[in-house]
Each structure stands twice: as structure tokens, then as C-alpha cells.
Amino acid sequence: MKPSFPTVLDSTIIAAARSCLQKANLEFFEHWKPREPSVHLHAGAAYAAGMEAARTAFYLQGHSEADSVAAGVQALLVHYGDFECPPDSAKSLERTAGALEFYFSRYRLGEDKAIPMTLPGGKRGIEFSFVEPLDINHPETGDPLLYSGRMDMLCDYENMRLGEDDKTASQLGASWPRQWDLRSQFTGYCVHPSTEVLTEVGWRAIAALREGTKIATWKDGEIRFDLPSQLIEIDFAGNLTEFNGKVHLLATPEHRQVVFDQYSQTYKTFTINKLPRNSGALRFVSAGIKRGGVDLDKNFIRLLVAFQADGYWKGTAAQFHFRKARKVERLRSILTELEIEFKEREEADGTVRVYTYMTSEVYMLMLSFLGKKKEFDNWLLSLSQACLSTFIEELKYWDGTDYGTKKAPLYFTTNPINADWVRTAAALCGRHTSMHVQHDTRSNSTQYRVVLNYDCKHSVHLTPTEQIPYVGKVYCVTVPDSYFLIRSGGRTLITGNCWGAARAGIKLDGFLVRGVSILKTKYDTLEAITYRPEWQLDRWYGQLMRDIRRMIAAWEEGYFDFNLDHACTEYGGCPFKGVCQMREPEQLLRMQFQRRKWNPVTRMETLVEET
């Protein structure tokens, strides 16, 4: 039976695939692991738990250096548990705990140059993890593949901002740090502070967004309101890229942008500086379909639209004054369905007045929605998709025009607040809007004409761009599904959030790796800082994409190539060497291995139940 392709990838899986595709297949597709867990992985996990506990105690809880190290050792002991260390290994419980104490004797808390940085929201950079979508879709589900990563610390180090990892090793040398190069992304992808995000109470400037505020997020055409996990604010100096057409965006060159491919009928994500501008197939997406929300009587929604357009308050009644017979007929139908009593009177000029007799409950309910000024408000954002669609469809019968299937309907108003809410509601119904403003000299009023387009996809190729010099703050958020709804220049757009380390609002200068070698008779330490220019990070990401495509091709073919001249002889050896050298390896696999699935997010293994 063909194994499933992993949903989440990490540097461990990618490194295995680069070493040998067959090794990656056995270990991460079929989930075979040696029956005896790796002492290196177990001791390393216990060591990491101890490091995190010690730093938390010192930097967050204000404990003394001695008490913080003691807390770290205690956490290490608990995590190591009753695991039996192989006799030939130096990574026993006692030696691993000793390595932690040795580390803090070399890099003393309070004197260490590497200090956990303060992140947006006041959090400290002790242990940082991320799970972000890639620009390649899963071969089975069609959803974006996810890439997971982890750093032990985001730190300030002699006026630099670094990602930091702590490693245990059997031996250290000049070449040891190189194996950890380019295991994470360091760049930030953000938008101009004038960009707005849609909250549950309306549009807010992204620069003014506060923790605990839900915003409209997007996934595969659907919109929900979710809490961002990070609010990001960083300094930027350089050129922002501006798209200015049916959609508008002003963002850093590395900002992640989702588009729809008309040829493959799939969503794809590019950084702006890598977006194929000459492709006639790619489309920006400016709207989505809202999921969840409150269901109200659809005829009550219709009554609100009718009253806002042609009604007025008179005591506890709502009155209407019409010249068009079609409006009278539609209002009769709505009031009858709602069982609201009414009377009609034809005036001398041929107009018709409709008088309603509302109960106090109905009157107060309508008043709570529209107010005395008859204005739409943020109650629209709480409605279900069915109610929102009813609202948009009803507009054409009152302050609107319906052209049938020939062209998009229009909505007219002299109230800019109502025009704004109609455009917002339409964006939650998968419809793109444009607005034309015109001053009527005869009535000395301003008319707002909103076009309710059915298509919310717009050509990337035909959208003009410009490079705008900018020095100042840029902003972004991190949301569960990676994409969210923005409004820029009065136009809506679905865009992407930050990637990798940039989730914390930090553009890192480099990466610090610290190792402690654990031998049976001594310890040693080594640290190294690596710096990567932007072009090398781009090269790393490009290689990652190619590696994943090779993995997908092997999975689709059903055959993973062997690399007998490399993986079998690499440092530490390959546990599957004996398996690969056998003609019929199944018996050996079941004798010496068991199936445990690696979770890149939790960094843990779980036993796979045989079916």
C-alpha cells in the first residue's frame, strides 16, 4: 500500500531526502524507526527542555542564576526519565545533566552575550517555533505543504539579532557548525502601515491592531475570523512594491502573495519579487466566502434594506413613500411574510404611502440595526453567508439597478458609510466592488455608485506596478491559515502573512549555533555565527523547492532511489544499511524496527498502529 506523503516537512526530513531518498522513505514515509530509541535524540530533547526551563526561570521569573540552573537540571531529569542509556554512549542521564551545568558555567546567566530578545507583545525569545505554508501543494490534498522549524532562542548578541540553537555532540570541530547552516529563514515580509485589516467590528489600520482582536482570515476561498498569533512591527528602509489597479497593495519585496492560477485552477503563493508578472494565468483574489455567523430571517434582512433606502421613522412605525409600483409590490410581499400589519394610501400625485403597524419589539429591533440615521453597521459582519447574500441581492430592488446577466448590478447612495459597508459585505460574499464618486451640482450632493462585480479575480499581468522609496515601520500578522483579507487604497485583497522567523517581527542578522560535546571524561563547547545575504537565502529556498519536488516525483513513481555511496558511509552510519543490502528486507525491518511517526511540529514520535 502506497504511504501518504507527509503534510508537514522540516529540516530533518529534507536532510534525510538529500542524503538518500530511500532512507527518507523508510524513516518518514513508512515511519520505520529502530526499536531502541536513539540516545542522541532522547538526550538532546532532555537537554533542550533543561535549557528552556533555566532561561525561563532567569529571564521571565526573575530567579537567581543558581536557582535557574537548578530548575533547568530538574526539567532535564524529568524529561530524560527512566530511559536506559546504552553502555557505550556518553549521553547518560548524569553526563547530560553535567553538560547543562557545564554550558551555564561557560555562558553564565546574567553575563551571557546572547540575551533572549523582547518580541512584539512583550514576550521573550525563549524557544521559537513556526509552521508556515510553502509554494508547493500537497500531492494528495492539494493544500499547501507546510514547513516547520524551531530555534532555541531569538537573541540580541553584541548589537546583532540572531537565531540560536543549542546542540549536544560527541565531538566538536571546525566543520561541525556547517551542518546547521540555512536551517531557517530570516527575512520579513510586511505591508505599509496604511493597510487595513477587517476585524469583527470593522476595518482597522494594521498599525493600530492590538492583541486579542480577531481578523478576517482566508483559506481556499473561505473567510473566517481568527486571532493572529503574532502582531509584527519592524523597521524598513528600501523600495516598497506598489500594485495599483483593480486591487492595491504596498508591501516589501519579499511579502508573500497568494494568486489563483487559471490554467491549473489552483491557488499558488509567491513572494512579490518572484511573482511571474508575464503570466496571463495568474489572478489576484480580492474576496472570499464567509463561513459561520448568525442566521436571521431573510425577510427581516430585506426589510432593513428596503427601509434604509425608502423608509423613515414616524413614532413607533416605519413609513414608506414610493413612486414605483414594483417597490410597492415587493414591500407588500416582505411585510406579509413577516406578518407585519400595514396600510396603503395613494396620493394625488400618484405616489403610494405604506404605513406599518409594528410591535415595540420589531420597532426596537429595526432601530438597533439601523439607528436614527438609517446606516448600515458592523452587525453585517456577524451574519451568516446566507444572510449576507440576501443583503447584497436585495440592494438592487431599492437603491440599486439590476442589469440581469449583461453586467454587474449597481448600488447608489449619498451616504459614504453605507457605501463602505455594502462594499465590505460584498467582499464576504466573494464579490469584488469598485466605487465611483460624483458630485451632483443640481442637488448639491455627492453620489456614491458601487459596482457589485461577480468576479473577484484580477489579472496580475495587467496590474501596474511601481517601486516606492520608503523608510519607516512596516507591519504584518501571523494567522492560522497563513492568509488574510486587507484593504489598501480603498480596495480589498487576499494576501499572505510572515514566514519563518519573521513571524516574531524580527529580521535576523544571522544564526548562532552552540554545541556542547559530551564525552565520558570531559566536556567542551564551541559556538559559531553564520551570516547569510538575501541572495543566499533565496538560493536556499529554491533548493528546498527542488528537493521537495524530487520527493513528490519519487512518491508518485512509487520508487525511492538508493544512495549507497553516500548515506551508508556518512557520519554515524545509516540504521537502514542492513535493510537496503537485503533482497527481501521485510523480516529484518519487523525484527529490528518499529513504526513510529515523527511529528515535525511537536518534535515527538508516536507509535503507528498496524492495520
| pLDDT tens digits, 53-75 | 999 999 999 999 999 999 999 99
Q: Is the pLDDT of residue 93 over 60?
A: yes
Q: Is the pLDDT of residue 540 over 80?
A: no
Closest CA to 420 of 387, 450, 441, 384: 450
CATH number of 298-455, picked from 3.40.50.1220, 3.30.565.10, 3.10.28.10, 3.30.70.920: 3.10.28.10
For residues 581 and 103, which has the higher predicted lDDT (pLDDT)? Answer: 103
Strands (E), 96-214: 114-116, 126-137, 144-157, 160-169, 196-199, 202-205
Q: Are 397 and 440 in contact (CB under 8 A)?
A: no
Q: Is the pLDDT of residue 441 over 60?
A: yes
Whole-number Cα distances in Å, 58 to 65, 96, 109, 115, 353 = 7, 21, 7, 11, 75
pLDDT at residue 305, as a whole number: 96
Pairing outcome for strands 160-169 and 510-518: parallel
pLDDT band, very low/low/confident/very high, at 197 (cuts 50, 70, 90): very high
pLDDT at residue 572, as a whole number: 55
pLDDT at residue 509, as a whole number: 67
pLDDT at residue 465, as a whole number: 95
pLDDT at residue 505, as a whole number: 45
Q: Is the pLDDT of residue 238 over 90?
A: no
Q: Is 85 strand, coil or helix?
A: coil
Mean pLDDT across 560-589: 76
pLDDT band, very low/low/confident/very high, at 105 (cuts 50, 70, 90): very high
pLDDT at residue 344, as a whole number: 87
Q: What number does CATH give the domain 196-288+458-498?
A: 2.170.16.10
Q: Is the pLDDT of residue 206 over 50?
A: yes
For residues 129 and 184, which has the higher predicted lDDT (pLDDT)? Answer: 129
Domain ranges of the chain: 196-288+458-498, 298-455
User: 212 Cβ partners below 8 Å, 6+ apart?
Assistant: 227
Taking only the tens place, the pLDDT of each residue in 342-373 is 888 888 877 788 888 777 788 888 899 999 99
Of the segments 347-356, 383-392, 397-406, 504-513, which one has the largest average pLDDT value? Answer: 383-392
Q: Is the pLDDT of residue 500 over 60?
A: no
Q: Are 309 and 398 in contact (CB under 8 A)?
A: yes
Q: Is the pLDDT of residue 272 over 90?
A: no
Q: Quick one: cell of 420?
A: 463602505
Q: What percent of the chain stands above pLDDT 90? A: 48
Q: Are 320 and 354 in contact (CB under 8 A)?
A: yes
Q: Quick one: cell of 498?
A: 510572515
Q: Is the pLDDT of residue 110 over 90?
A: yes
Helix (H) or strand (E) holding 314: strand 311-314
pLDDT at residue 174, as a whole number: 52
pLDDT at residue 194, as a whole number: 93
Average pLDDT along the chain:
86
Mean pLDDT across 370-378: 93
pLDDT band, very low/low/confident/very high, at 229 (cuts 50, 70, 90): confident
